């Protein structure tokens, strides 16, 4: 094990050990001195050290107390601001915007982490993460593809995303069972994320993908009749995976307007 630390499975600890891959990630992030950068899960510092060399100061969020002790020993306070605790509960609004968020994320909580950060999209300049390739494929999937689902729609509504490159298991110690990938997310301008009721949008998307084999007529029957679908120009026999993000926004807005007008009458 690198530097005597025993990797903790419950914290999703797979430490990057391939210098070429680390260099490629840092090159993709292209950190600059004046930027506020926060690294999630610095671990043993594989990315932390080269990031610091480029940008001079870094915020890090780490949950493992043993690793925090090491980080405090290894880095001067002025270089590293250590936020001890769970990244899922970390309030990004305590840091100055615009923020750049980076990290080789713990895979066991990657989806909730992505949703947590999406809640701060207005304060974020961009995010560069290492994730399981299977998750990255779902994030960037297009309508009609097998990987397209709730994660694709919810994140594509909020972010432009690109899968940058794959990382093999051998690049880590211990090696994970799966291939990883680097993904880049940039918040879309607020004017483009103008769904009237985002909570309702989320509920409709979740329902549409809840039972993948079922038609929209079935999965969305709580909100839409065949006549509603006809007015919206959406085929009720289609399945959720055929709808574009903009179609889901249209469905949610239509329903929000109707609920609003009913409430008002």
Least distance to ligand SAM, CB of residue 37, Å: 13
Coil, helix or strand at residue 35: coil
**Least distance (Å) between residue 259 CB and ligand SAM:** 36
With respect to ligand SAM, which residue has the nearer C-beta, 83 or 239? 83
CA dihedral 114, 117, 122, 126 (to 10 degrees): -70
Nearer to ligand SAM, 13 or 35 (CB): 13
The tokens of 191 are what? 């004017």
What's the distance, Cα to Cα, between the start and end of the chain in Å?
A: 67
Cis geometry, peptide bond prior to residue 98 (ω within 30 degrees of 0):
yes
What residues are paired with 62 via a beta bridge?
A: 84
Smallest separation, CB 12 to ligand SAM (Å) = 5
Nearer to ligand SAM, 79 or 109 (CB): 109
* CA pair distance 237, 193, nearest whole angstrom: 27
Classify strands 58-62 and 15-16 as parallel, antiparallel or unpaired: unpaired
By C-beta, is 41 or 187 nearer to ligand SAM?
A: 41
Output DSSP code: residue 239.
B
Q: How many CB atoms lie within 10 A of CB 193?
A: 16
Residue 95: Cβ within 10 Å count: 17
Of the pair 62, 137, the CB lying nearest ligand SAM is at 62
Name the minimum Å distance from CB 44 to ligand SAM: 6
Residues that bind ligand SAM (CB under 6 A): 11-16, 41-44, 46-47, 61-64, 67, 86-88, 104, 106, 109
Cβ-based burial of 181 (10 A; exposed 0-12, middle 13-18, buried ≥19) = buried
Looking at the Cβ atoms of 47 and 121, the one nearer to ligand SAM is: 47
Q: Which is nearer to ligand SAM, 110 or 255 (CB)?
A: 110
**Helix, strand and coil in the chain, % to nearest 5:** 50, 20, 30
By beta-carbon distance, which residue lies closest to ligand SAM? Answer: 41
Comparing CB distances to ligand SAM, the nearer of 86 and 146 is 86
Distance, in Å, from the CA atom of 39 to the CA atom of 135, rounded to the nearest integer, reads 20
Residues with Cβ within 8 Å of residue 4, at least 6 apart in sequence: none
CB of 128 to ligand SAM, least distance (A): 12
Q: Please, what is the minimum distance in Å from the beta carbon of residue 78 to ligand SAM?
A: 21
């Amino acid at each position: 094990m690198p530097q005597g630390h025993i990797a903790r499975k419950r914290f999703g600890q797979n430490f990057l050990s391939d210098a070429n891959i680390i260099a490629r990630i840092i090159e993709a992030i292209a950190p600059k001195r004046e930027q506020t950068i926060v690294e999630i899960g610095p671990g043993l510092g594989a990315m932390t050290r080269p990031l610091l060399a480029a940008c001079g100061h870094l915020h890090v969020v780490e949950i493992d107390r043993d690793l925090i002790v090491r980080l405090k020993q290894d880095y001067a306070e002025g270089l590293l601001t250590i936020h001890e605790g769970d990244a899922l509960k970390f309030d990004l609004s305590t840091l100055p915007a615009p923020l750049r968020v980076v990290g080789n994320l713990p895979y066991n909580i990657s989806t909730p982490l992505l949703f947590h950060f999406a809640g701060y999209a207005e304060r974020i300049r961009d995010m560069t993460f290492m994730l399981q390739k299977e998750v990255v494929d779902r994030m960037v999937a297009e309508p009609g593809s097998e990987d397209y689902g709730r994660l694709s729609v919810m994140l594509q509504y909020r972010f432009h995303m690109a899968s940058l490159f794959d990382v093999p298991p051998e690049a880590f110690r211990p090696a994970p069972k799966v291939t990883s990938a680097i993904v880049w997310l940039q918040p879309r301008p607020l004017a483009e994320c103008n769904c009237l009721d985002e909570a309702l949008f989320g509920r409709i998307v979740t329902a549409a993908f809840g039972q993948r084999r079922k038609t929209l007529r079935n999965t969305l029957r709580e909100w839409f009749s065949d006549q509603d679908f006809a007015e919206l120009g959406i085929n009720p026999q289609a399945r959720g995976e055929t709808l574009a993000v903009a179609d889901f926004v249209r469905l949610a807005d239509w329903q929000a307007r109707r609920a609003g007008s009913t409430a008002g009458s």
